[in-house]
Amino acid sequence: MQHRALYIVSLLALIFLVLVSLGEIIWGSSQNGLHWTSRMFYGICHQIPERTLEINGVLMAVNARCFGIFAGLLAGWLLIPAVSGLTVQKKWPVQLFFVAMLLQIIDYTGNLLGFWTNTNLSRLSLGLFFGLSIPVAISDLFYNNKK
């Protein structure tokens, strides 16, 4: 594996990102307004309560799609060593990323135009797929064994 230190630091950062995105579920409730985990994501996630997953009535710090992306990034990152033999010098990982991005656009546009209504499960699923596709698309940076 090339860039092992970068891989490990990124892995730790992604674990932290997923844990923080769980918000009050694991970090406890805030006594004075907006929880610190929600403030962390304020500029990058709309955090609409109806679009946010909850456990036992406690909302996550991010919406379902953002959590799916973050969890997918972590899962994809963990898969880099396992998929490296399948992705080295191949075009399909980048094509997979573009398909995942296109699905996001189609899903958003279809919901916006009223063709269908997104659910938190659909947002989570598409977010997971999109997040997973990113590390797979860049896995060549860590395993560049020319065949």
Other Cβ atoms closer than 10 A to 134: 19
Query: Is residue 108's pLDDT more than 60?
Result: yes
Alpha-carbon span 51 to 55, nearest angstrom: 13
Compute the CA torsion angle 38, 42, 45, 46 (nearest 10 deg): 100
Q: What is the mean pLDDT of residues 3-16?
A: 94
pLDDT at 37: 84
- What does the alpha-carbon distance between residue 143 and residue 140 come to, in Å, rounded to a whole number? 5
Rg, C-alpha atoms of the chain: 17
| Chain segment 37-90, per-residue pLDDT in tens | 888 898 899 989 999 999 988 889 999 999 999 999 999 999 988 887 777 778
Q: Which residues pair with 54 in a beta bridge?
A: 59
